[in-house]
Amino acid sequence: MAKIEICSLKLYSLIAELENMNEKSFRAKQVYEWLHKKNKWDFNEMTNLSKDLRNKLNESFFITEGTIAEKLTSDDNTSKYLFRLSNNSIIESVLMKHTFGNSVCVSSQAGCNMGCAFCYSTKDGKERDLTTGEMLLQVYKIQEDLGERISHVVIMGSGEPLENYENCLNFIEILSSKEGLNISQRHITLSTCGLVDKIYNLADRKLQINLALSLHASNDEMRKHIMPIARAYSMEEIFKACDYYAEKTGRRITYEYALMKGINDGEKTASELVKRLKGRLCHVNLIPVNETEDKKFERPSQKTIKEFADILEKSGVATTIRREMGSSINAACGQLRGRYTRENE
């Protein structure tokens, strides 16, 4: 029989598995705490279990594989980690040290299929979905490396999380479980390019996580130009789904908006955005685009960015300009993974 990936199991599933092996449920809780609270991913280190049980676990389960292949730190408290997973998949995660806590940006897929024109992660398409264990591994290994608690997690690395829906939800539930790291769901953010059906599903789960929607445009024509997903769903459909999410959860939506010179940064665009967002439970996060090598997408001037933000703010749309972090270490979406896989081919 094929072994089961133990790090991807929620507590109740682990209890069921161990009961099948005639083990008491408190044993499952002990194993779960080793994995998800103490983050010891080695059966031999689970010292309060008998040798016999550890052998049994080894026979039925396997532990998710993954090691830090490279780490780069920039001077602004941002580190980028490259992980090597099973099948030699390479993924990247980012640690950001904020005043409010340590935040990790995790990848949900190796590569991505969404095809956004300005994004590095999608250049070579999707290799595969990550398992729940592979998403947890990113947080646990970074926490261990840092030696400090991770308090915030954003699912905003490579990949489209709502395309890897069940694994992402499992990840969130394990991460926020009290027998695990117990990270508050209010400190977890999932970012999507807007898979509308899945947003409704997520809303009905009534989690307390924050939803970030990558909008990047003020109308469908503009959005189609840079994001293929816009051909599948209109912005009106997205807004409806996001309003539903906000209504069900009481959580305000974050609209991510990467400002790209000459593409989506004009005053008319800002006014159009205001018309569409005013009155909604949301705020806008403006991000000066991380420039691509071919210079197809360039950052607007500070003046343009400020003017764009002012139009939104003055019209009552809450807006923040994201502080750039880590651009000196290729922390922009998929840049480092792309470089690493090209150099090591």
Interface residues with ligand SAH (CB under 6 A) are 114, 116, 118-119, 156, 160, 191-193, 214, 256, 258, 287, 289-290, 332-333
Question: Catalytic site residue 92?
Answer: yes
CB 297 within 8 A of CB 117: yes
Least Å distance, CB 344 to ligand SAH, is 22
Active-site option among 193, 242, 282, 333: 333
Smaller CB separation from ligand SAH, 14 or 106:
106
Copy the structure tokens of residue 98: 């904020």
Which one, 31 or 253, has the nearer CB to ligand SAH?
253
- What's the length of the chain? 345
Question: With contact defined as beta carbons under 8 Å apart, do 109 and 164 qualify?
Answer: yes
In the complex, what is the shortest distance from the CB of residue 237 to ligand SAH, in angstroms, rounded to a whole number?
16
Token pair of 241, please?
Answer: 């789904």
Report in angstroms how near the CB of residue 322 gets to ligand SAH at its nearest: 9
User: Helix or strand or coil: residue 46?
Assistant: coil
Provide the minimum distance between the beta carbon of 9 and ligand SAH in the complex, in angstroms, as a whole number.
Answer: 25
Q: 70: part of which helix (H) or strand (E)?
A: strand 66-73
Q: How far is CA 192 from CA 60, 108, 186, 262, in A?
A: 35, 11, 17, 24
Read off the tokens for 269.
Answer: 């665009």
- Shortest distance in whole angstroms from residue 256 CB to ligand SAH: 4
By C-beta, is 96 or 119 nearer to ligand SAH?
119
Nearer residue to ligand SAH within complex by CB, 126 or 141: 126
Type and span of the H or E element at 239: helix 235-249
**Residue 200, Cβ density class (10 Å: 0-12 exposed, 13-18 middle, ≥19 buried):** middle
Judge whether 5 counts as a catalytic residue. Answer: no
Residue 22 main-chain phi, psi, to 5 deg: 60, 35
DSSP code string of 12-81: HHHHHHHHHTT--HHHHHHHHHHHHTS----GGG-TTS-HHHHHHHHHHEEPPPEEEEEEEE-TTSEEEE
Any idea of the CA torsion for 188, 284, 218, 206, to the nearest 10 degrees? 40
CA atoms of 54 and 50, how far apart (whole Å): 6
Catalytic residue among 92, 127, 160, 163: 92
Which residue's CB is nearer to ligand SAH, number 28 or number 287? 287
Give the tokens for residue 125: 């398409």
- To the nearest whole angstrom, how small is the minimum distance from the Cβ of residue 121 to ligand SAH? 7
For ligand SAH, the closer CB: 107 or 143: 107
- Active-site positions? 92, 333
